[in-house]
Amino acid sequence: MKFHFVPALLSVLVAPMAPLASAAFVQVWQLGVDNDSQGEFSQETGSNVAPGAVTPANAVTREQAADPAFNLTTHDDDFYFAGTYPSPIGVVTNTEPLKALDRALTGDVNGANGDIWDRVHFNLDQASVVGSTELRLTIDLIALGYWDASDANAGSGSTAHDLKVSLNGVTIGTQTGISAATTWVLNTTAGAVNATTGENVLEITRTGGLSGDAADNAGWIQYDFVRLESQSIPEPASLVLLAAAAGGVMMVRRRRF
């Protein structure tokens, strides 16, 4: 009695497995509404070092949260989703209100003298930290401008911005000379940025750029929304095992007479 592989049948069985290697992106989190407005965030108040502090979810009333003119005076550069973080933050029971996030990155031509960075702290589920999992970050940037210190007047022309984005300390993208509203999409993998089920930190930094006609002018670039998505991709070893299992099924028994 012998067992033989049937190549034609094996290829038919293995072919439908291809979609397993590419699933749809799913949203992990989103900050802000895709509506070309920064009204759900607060006016920036200057840079601070990490880890910042957590604003209780009940610090902003429903009416205040719906009012574009309301700014949360206790917010800082560190936004926390519900999760568990190192001391002194600890367990965050409720995600901070959107008013706890700055509406803009600001600074002068040297990337200083302003509110130059924002950090988003979040946890991930087990599926999202598998090394091959793809992560896609979308940053929608709007409403560029600058404050002319010598004229004490705001302007919207001759402004450009250099930005850097990092995840867990790993740079995943840079752009220089952003001078118009733009949607910036960055792709990486969980393994490349050392993703963890514990604390992950996204940092968006304004490193420099042109702010009108003087070096001491303060330029700004604002958020419409920031979104993180993930897409699970089976590890190569897993795909090999699946293929081997499929091959075993396709063994047919031939009886010798």
Overall average pLDDT of the 14-32 stretch: 70
With helix as H, strand as E and coil as C, how does the chain read? CEEEECHHHHHHHHHHHHHHHCCCCEEEEEECCCCCCCCCCECCCCCCCCCCCCCCHHHCCHHHHCCCCCCCCCCCCEEECCEECCCCCCEECCCCCHHHCECEEEECCCCCCCCCEEEEEECCCHHHHCCCCEEEEEEEEEEEEEEECCCCEEECCCECEEEEEEECCEEEEEEEEECCCEEEEEEEECCCCCCCCCCEEEEEEEEECCECCCCCCEEEEEEEEEEEEEECCCCHHHHHHHHHHHHHHCEEEECCC
What residues does 230 pair with on adjacent strands? 26, 135
Number of neighbours of residue 118 by Cβ within 10 angstroms: 25
Nearest in space to 131 (alpha carbons), one of 20, 26, 19, 236: 236
The answer to whether residue 98 scores a pLDDT higher than 60 is yes
Cα atoms in the Cβ-side hemisphere of radius 13 Å centred on 74: 10
Q: Which residue did the predictor score with more confidence, 108 or 120?
A: 120
Contact (CB, 8 A) for 228 and 136? yes
pTM for the model stands at: 0.81
Nearest in space to 203 (alpha carbons), one of 171, 228, 161: 171
| CA distance readout (Å), 15 to 4, 51, 82, 197, 219 | 20, 49, 41, 34, 54
pLDDT tens for 145-171 read: 887 766 666 665 568 899 999 999 999
Q: Which residue did the predictor score with more confidence, 141 or 210?
A: 141
Confidence of residue 46 (pLDDT cuts 50, 70, 90): confident
Domains of the chain: 23-232 (2.60.120.260)
What is the rounded average pLDDT for all residues in the chain? 82
Comparing 66-70, 82-86, 231-235, the range with the smallest average pLDDT is 231-235
Hunting for tokens 């429903």 — which residue is that?
Answer: 62
* Crossing angle of helices 236-249 and 7-14, rounded to 10°: 140
pLDDT at 20: 47
